[in-house]
Amino acid sequence: MGANDVLARLNSSGFLKTQGFIGGKWVDAYDGKTLEVTNPATGEVIANVACMGTKEANDAIASAHKAFQSWSKFTAGERSKCLRKWYDLIMANKEQLGELITLEQGKPLKEAIGEVTLGASYLEFYAEEAKRIYGDIIPTTSADRRLFILKQPVGVVGAITPWNFPFAMITRKVGPALAAGCTMVIKPSELTPLAALAAAELANRAGIPPGVVNVVMGIAPEIGDALLASPQVRKITFTGSTAVGKKLMAGAASTVKKVTLELGGNAPCIVFDDADIEVAVKGTLGAKFRNTGQTCICANRILVQEGIYDKFARALSDAISNIKVGNGFSEGVVQGPLINEAAVQKVETLVQDAVSKGAEVLLGGKRHGLGFTFYEPTVISNVNNEMRISREEVFGPVAPLLRFKTEEEAISIANDTDAGLAAYLFGASVQRTWRVAEALEYGIVGINEGLVSSEVTPHGGVKQSGLGREGSKYGIEDYLEIKYVCLGNMLG
């Protein structure tokens, strides 16, 4: 299947949108500027999309604010039906949406369709949760009073999302927001705006009223600043790097907005001597190589106990040498390109730094023969926790192996980072895996499992990996305000 055929098909079915979506209308940038979206597998330009800034962001905020007045008064059942219809339309078109993701982001088509299914599941889940936003009645402190708790939507929400999951990172926010009665201004990454725009098109087809979902993309700092400055925007929800998350958190202070931050990780993956090698290799592969190693919960440091180290290193290298690299549309490909040249250069720098300090390349370790932004699936050994590769997110297909002796040492290395998003551990002892899971300073722990994401479980980190949780029954709380109502003079 050629990229041009895919583009033509997406265009004729109305999924290839290039304008922003404000107040239920497709609009160009007001000054007519556009930006190129490229296919990371080939470098070819796929589309020229509107390059928007302050003015368009302010209009989107105004539309969301107007729509909030009515959307927040829809019954929970009415909001639920809209979300469910949106979910149904997405699932009915999941192959085409998957193709769009492969085109702009590069991940293999099967994985891209998996992202659409995961992304849609947040809409389905929160369509159901919309009907379960309960308040409370507090036992009164005096006979002439009644004490009530109402849960109300926070208002207009600004959502800023990254390129690595261009679809699911949006629905994970918009699902609970709309279920709670909030309206949204979404700013997808300039690298991958097309999936967000297609999602907006389907929201429109699903009958979600104009202004409830708005999408603007382009000059990130301008759009971000407009969202931060507006007193009408009551919450910022951000998924992306810790550096940008810190800026947004500081900026949100001027109008005291709520913030949810899903930031970078530095996941340890601990393999104990008693681990089942097959389970540990399979789990590590899933946790490390999904999305070409470009996920926030990717195993970034693989800590292996000394008794199993050599055996595990061989088994992992064997498994990784079978990974087929290529264009995400080609049959059997499980690893696509990296997102851009800067990403490849970062991986190269971190691998070179590790090697210069004593690490050994067991497999790969360089750009792939396919060129562009393809990088070989890589295993490096003798890594320690002081090397840059252990301190920063690799965000590429590189598995760094660190050796440890004792459980205490593993915990100490694992926690020796500012990040605290996901951690993995493999071992047979129930007592030890529980002990270690409790000691790990992370928001998510996978025990004998490398794939842990779902709509029913809370996703989020501790320390500098962020604030708040997305997904699950907890994910809707961040979109709700608690209002305490005291009814007095009950005795007349």
Residues lying near ligand NAP in the complex (CB under 6 A): 160-165, 169, 187, 189-191, 220-221, 224, 239-241, 244, 247, 262-265, 296, 393, 421, 459, 461, 466
Residue 5's CB is within 10 A of a number of other CB atoms, namely 11
Among 300, 238, 301, 296, smallest CA distance to 421 is for: 296
Burial class (CB in 10 A: 0-12, 13-18, 19+), 2: exposed
- With respect to ligand NAP, which residue has the nearer C-beta, 227 or 363? 227
Q: Which is nearer to ligand NAP, 124 or 393 (CB)?
A: 393
Closest approach of Cβ 316 to ligand NAP, in Å? 22
Tell me whether residue 70 or residue 454 sits nearer to ligand NAP (CB atom): 454
HEC-encoded secondary structure of 414-442: HHCCCCCCEEEEECCCHHHHHHHHHHCCC
- Give least dist CB 129 to ligand NAP, A: 19
Number of C-alpha atoms within 13 angstroms, CB side, residue 430? 0
236: its two tokens: 């910022």
Q: Which is nearer to ligand NAP, 65 or 187 (CB)?
A: 187
User: Residue 446 CB, nearest distance to ligand NAP (Å)?
Assistant: 15
**Judging by beta carbons within 10 Å of its beta carbon (0-12, 13-18, 19+), is residue 19 exposed, middle or buried?**
middle
Measured on CA atoms in the order 333, 338, 344, 347, is the torsion positive or negative?
Answer: negative
From the CB of 438, what's the least distance to ligand NAP, in Å?
22
71 vs 165, beta carbon nearer ligand NAP: 165
Smallest distance from ligand NAP to CB 118, Å: 12
SS3 label, residue 148? strand
- What is the edge-to-edge ordering of all strands in the sheet holding 183-187? 25-27, 20-22, 213-215, 183-187, 156-160, 233-239, 258-262, 466-467
Least distance to ligand NAP from the beta carbon of 258, Å? 17
Rounded to whole angstroms, how far apart are CA atoms 466 and 259?
10
Which residue of the set 296, 298, 393, 455 is catalytic? 296
Considering the complex, state which of residue 99 and residue 393 has its C-beta at the smaller distance from ligand NAP: 393
Q: Which of 115, 262, 376, 393 is catalytic?
A: 262
Token digits of residue 230:
């507006």
Task: Return the number of the residue (163 or 404) whose C-beta is nearest ligand NAP.
Answer: 163
- Which amino acid, 253? A
Residue nearest ligand NAP, CB atom distance: 224
Choose between 108 and 265: whose C-beta lies nearer to ligand NAP.
Answer: 265
**Min dist. Cβ of residue 1 to ligand NAP (A):** 27
Extended beta strands in 23-123, E state: 25-27, 34-38, 45-50
Q: Ramachandran region of residue 35, left (φ > 0), alpha (ψ -120 to 50) or beta?
A: beta
DSSP 457-470: S-B--SGGGEES-B
Residue with tokens 């407009």: 226
Does 262 qualify as catalytic in the annotation?
yes
Cα–Cα distance for residue pair 300/277, rounded to 1 Å = 19
Strands 25-27 and 398-404: unpaired
Strand pairing category for 183-187 and 156-160: parallel
51 is catalytic: no
- Cα distance between residue 188 and residue 240, in whole Å: 11
Cβ proximity to ligand NAP: between 262 and 376 the closer is 262
Backbone angles phi and psi of 55, in degrees to 5: -65, -45
Note whether 391 and 403 are within 8 A (CB): no
Q: How far is the CB of 381 from ligand NAP (least distance, A)?
A: 25
Shortest CB 152 distance to ligand NAP, Å = 26
Residues recognised as catalytic: 262, 296
